[in-house]
Amino acid sequence: MTDALPESSPIAPQPEGIAHFESAAGRARFTDAYRDGMALLPAPAETRVLNTSFGRVTAYRFGPPAAEPIVLLSGRQASTPMWRGNIPGLTAHHTVWSLDSLGEPGASAQTAPISSPEDHADWLDQALAQLDAEQVHLLGVSIGGWLAAQTAIHRPARLASATLLDPAVTFAPITWKMIVVSLGSVIPGLPRRVREWLLSWISGGAKADDSVPEARLIASGMRDFAQHPVQPKQPTLDQLRSITTPLLVILAGASIIHNADRAAEQARTVPGAEVEIWAGRSHAINGEAPAEIAARVDRFLADL
């Protein structure tokens, strides 16, 4: 990585609805954390900037070009470095692209408002069209799982499958605990120790200070990045029943984001969906169980 992100969100002030860094100092602080996080990943075989009508999306390819790669979609306030534990296992048998989502802190740059779930699915579909792939296997965690589900509903043509890891606001409403975490991510001037405590809480008590590269990156995003996201809408029952993309849903049994049993019941309304609850796992499931996730994804894709 260079000292700057290959693409990065602008600095305030910006038009209404455009996510941005609050200051040059904040963007520099985030860039340092991002660069340090990327240095811990395998070296990307390719970095590509994908131009969409909503902004420029930075994508990293791990492995050789492939007709049906896995495409990673990060969670809220997160980006490619959050997949540090997952990329080695997934690339053992698959080519992987990781996209930094528009509207989130990362190496992508939003240039137009994103005002609906359909807009989210649209920017992702436009980006996927530029990956030189016949179809893709989406793998999203948290809000990335929500984005994968919305794409399966509104723009499914490029999807060979979708795996959702403890997806937020997709099969059940968020809990009051998650509302507290969400508020903590946007309150200006919140002390660092409080942000670290919030990150640890959502991660099942795991350490979440500056010694953890992913936590440092997310904490900087919470502090330095102003988001203007559309309030995620939970898909309707009819929308879920309309999904034809093969779906694997892995819910974290100890997640604070929703009631896992309630979410599983709703997820099973998707025709043919494979739905599992992994007991004892928190909302940070991708970092807690990378080997298990890679093995389960391998089996899922092999059976398609």
Choose the weakest-confidence range: 39-43, 55-59, 183-187: 183-187
Which single residue is written with the structure tokens 């060979």?
160
**pLDDT on residue 197:** 44
Average pLDDT, the chain: 88
Q: Is residue 7 one of the residues assigned to a domain?
A: no
Q: Is residue 263 one of the residues assigned to a domain?
A: yes
CA distance 268 to 274: 8
What band does 201 get if pLDDT is binned at 50, 70 and 90? very low
Which pair of structure tokens corresponds to residue 227?
């988001």
pLDDT in tens, 89-137: 999 999 999 999 999 999 999 999 999 999 999 999 999 999 999 999 9
Q: Is residue 12 one of the residues assigned to a domain?
A: no
Return the axis-axis angle of helices 213-224 and 24-38, rounded to nearest 10°: 160
Which pair of structure tokens corresponds to residue 22?
């609050």
- Count structural domains, the chain: 1
**pLDDT on residue 196:** 52
Say whether pLDDT at 46 is over 90.
Answer: yes
- Domain that residue 214 falls in: 20-302
Residues with Cβ < 8 Å from 304, sequence gap 6 or more? Answer: 160, 161, 246
Q: Is residue 287 one of the residues assigned to a domain?
A: yes
Say whether pLDDT at 36 is over 80.
Answer: yes
Q: Is residue 4 one of the residues assigned to a domain?
A: no
pLDDT in tens, 63-87: 999 999 999 999 988 899 999 999 9
**pLDDT on residue 271:** 97
What band does 176 get if pLDDT is binned at 50, 70 and 90? very low
CA distances from 243 to 145, 155, 303 (A): 14, 10, 18
Q: Higher model confidence: residue 267 or residue 197?
A: 267
**pLDDT on residue 210:** 58
**pLDDT on residue 139:** 98
Q: Higher model confidence: residue 63 or residue 203?
A: 63
Percent above pLDDT 70 for the chain? 86
Q: Is 198 helix (H, G, I), strand (E, B) or coil?
A: helix
Q: Is residue 293 one of the residues assigned to a domain?
A: yes
Q: What is the pTM of this model?
A: 0.90
**pLDDT on residue 174:** 79
Choose the weakest-confidence range: 13-17, 78-82, 226-230: 226-230
**pLDDT on residue 192:** 58
**Beta 159-165 vs 136-141: how paired, if at all?**
parallel
**pLDDT on residue 212:** 66
pLDDT in tens, 248-288: 999 999 988 899 999 999 999 999 999 999 999 998 899 99
CA distance 162 to 181: 27
Percent above pLDDT 90 for the chain? 68
Q: Higher model confidence: residue 225 or residue 154?
A: 154
CATH label of the domain that carries residue 130: 3.40.50.1820
Q: Region 175-199: what's the mean pLDDT?
A: 52
Q: Is residue 8 one of the residues assigned to a domain?
A: no
Say whether pLDDT at 199 is over 60.
Answer: no
CA distance 19 to 91: 31
Q: Is residue 61 one of the residues assigned to a domain?
A: yes
Confirm if 106 and 100 have CB atoms less than 8 A apart.
yes
Say whether pLDDT at 173 is over 70.
Answer: yes
